Amino acid sequence: MPTKNSTRRWLLAACATAVLVGLSALMFRSDAPSSMKVVSKPLPPMPFVAAQAPARATPPPPVLQVSVRENYIVQAESVEAARSAVTRAGGVVTGELSIIRAVGAALDDRELEALRASDVPRLRIFEDSPVQASSPAGVLPETYYPSEVSASSLHVGGVMGRGVAVAVLDSGVWSDLGPLQTTPYATPHVLAQYDVIQARTNPTYSQTAAQQNYSQSINDLFGHGTHMSSIIASSGVATTGNFQGVAPASNLVAVRVLDSTGAGRYFDVISGIQWVLRQKLRYNIRVINLSLGAPPQSPYWDDPLDQAVMSAWASGIVVVAAAGNRGPQPMTINAPGNVPYVITVGAVTDAYHPLQPLQYQLASFSSAGPTYEGFVKPELLGMGGHILAYAPNNGTLAQQFPQWVGPFDDFTMSGTSQATAVVSGVVALMLQANPYLTPDQVKCRLMSGAHPAVTSKGTLAYTVFQQGAGLVNAHDAAYSTATNCANQGLNVSLDLAGVQHYGGRANRDSKGNYYIMSEQSTTVCSGGGLLGGLLCLVKDVLSLVPLLLDGLFWNGSYTAGSGYTWSSGYTWSSGYTWSNGYTWSSGYTWSSGYTWSTGNTYTGTDLSKQQ
């Protein structure tokens, strides 16, 4: 019995222990952290939003349909005023262009009308016009253009553009830099790269690029930008021992404003110029190369791209722009080459006879002047026919025209784009030789050193509306001492401020002939005042009487001739006064009948063959 009792007691104790253990386990489980615990807490009271605006009492506002937005540039008295105006109209601000007191804007038709109806001082609305590279393409196995413009002779003396940076606003530079890797002094060619298109589409790009000191490669998907950069600065050495580039020791700043097809927008080019102005001291940017353009849409002073270019010139940067490939007809100069201040470049071809000047001729595609405002353009010519230069072998151009890709990752193209790059290289040489030249002085010496095409009779083979002062000559420009022969009568500061605008000396008679108006002196007197008497000034004014001097009269025709001497000994009868500026008036024959572009016409790689 004692054994049975003890066994019974042991079983009861075991059962009690098991119950206690189970209860303990349940207690511990209820305290363990889990989603269950969160749910078990009381929920905070939910805000009663519906009571604030009962659906039956106030119906919801109608949803306005937003149609397709287009890109515009909106200008006002300040960037802030332009931004506010766009926002009030319901549009979207896409970027700032403080260089011209403007913003980029995306607006549909309703927003555009609201903006136009707003009372905003100095409000101007521009279509964000397309621009494109000015280069058709072709093939040639060699290049001679540094020698053809007398740059190679300067290289021998050590003038190679050292210390001068050229900003190339184009499609970028190929990540495989090749002969653009280093200068002859083993220093980097490319100092900085900036992608305006990425900056517009990616909000974080600008900050990231700045943090990386603009050292990240942006590549060249089109091929045009690398071609321009190589013409300017390639340090590759040809089999002759000559450098392939015009200024092989110069530096490059690559600013991408054109996409993989060579097309771009006004906003991007203006934004690129704005970035260059902010960085000019950091990289010693002395030259901007603009091998691009679009047909003008308005007078130069009323065009936002032209305004940005004028700002760059006023800041001390030499701007070199392509005339365009819409020749040989008159009045075909592209914007921004229509700006009177800048150096606008037409094209010469050696007609596949390198280093034989008697075979050189004005390229038929080279755009001719005058401009709508009566200015003689281009100022001068550069080599622009079948130009060979380093370029990507996998870009859009190389894929479209594989037959024009050379064996050394080079490519051949023709156009005023190439001629412009040649002249930009020459400017870099000039600024190494004389770093203190102003943009106006550079332009003056380029013109005074140029060699015009002259017939066997000693007369000009082409008018000033076609060849300007003639073919650029690097040696004569670099060592010229000419002064006060460019942009006379113009004031870029007053122009930008809207105080004064200017016209040139060109006009057209009733028969369609273009001529240079003669200049007459007249006396203007004003009197009275506290001291009494008259104050008289002698002022030069323009007359509709033609100035009948050599090369200043043109019937608009083009002759594909050769056998001309590109002479350094030609004497201009009246200096370069045909390039002077005067207070703008509407006394030009075409003033009321000129057809402006709508901004939808593209120029660029549109020639079927090389010259």
Active site (catalytic) residues: 170, 224, 417
Please provide the DSSP assignment of 81-119 as one string. HHHHHHHHTT-EEEEEEGGGTEEEEEE-HHHHHHHHHS-
Question: What six digits make up the tokens of 580?
Answer: 């002077």
Alpha-helix runs per DSSP H in 186-303: 196-201, 205-211, 224-233, 266-283
Helix, strand, or coil (residue 182)? strand
User: What is the Cα 16 distance to its own chain's centre?
Assistant: 93
Cβ atoms of 368 and 338 within 8 Å: the answer is no
DSSP string computed for 113-133: HHHHHS--TT-EEEE--EEEE
Specify whether the CB–CB gap between 277 and 189 falls below 8 A. Answer: no
Classify residue 150 as left (phi > 0), alpha (psi -120 to 50) or beta.
Answer: left
Q: For residues 463 and 551, is the Cβ–Cβ distance under 8 A?
A: yes
Torsion of CA 328, 226, 164, 417, to 10 degrees: 0
Q: What is the spatial distance between Cα 478 and Cα 437, in angstroms, rounded to a whole number? A: 11
Amino acid (1-letter code) at residue 593? G
How many CB atoms sit inside 10 A of residue 523's CB? 8
Q: Minimal CA–CA distance to 455: which of 347, 562, 333, 606?
A: 562
CB 412 within 8 A of CB 137: yes
- Starting at the edge strand found earlier in the chain, the sheet holding 124-127 runs 92-97, 102-107, 70-75, 124-127
CA distance 420 to 289: 7
Backbone phi, then psi, for 125, in 5-degree steps? -125, 125
CA-closest candidate to residue 224, choices 325, 153, 125, 339: 325
In this structure, the number of other CB atoms found within 10 A of the CB of residue 314 comes to 16
User: What b-and-e string marks burial along 315-352, b requiring 16 or more CB atoms within 10 Å of the CB?
Assistant: eebbbbbbbbbbbbebbbbbbbbbbbbbbbbbbbbbbe
Helix (H) or strand (E) holding 521: strand 514-527
* Nearest by Cα to 503 from 296, 330, 338, 297: 338
CB 261 within 8 A of CB 238: no
DSSP, collapsed to helix, strand or coil, labels residue 576 as: coil
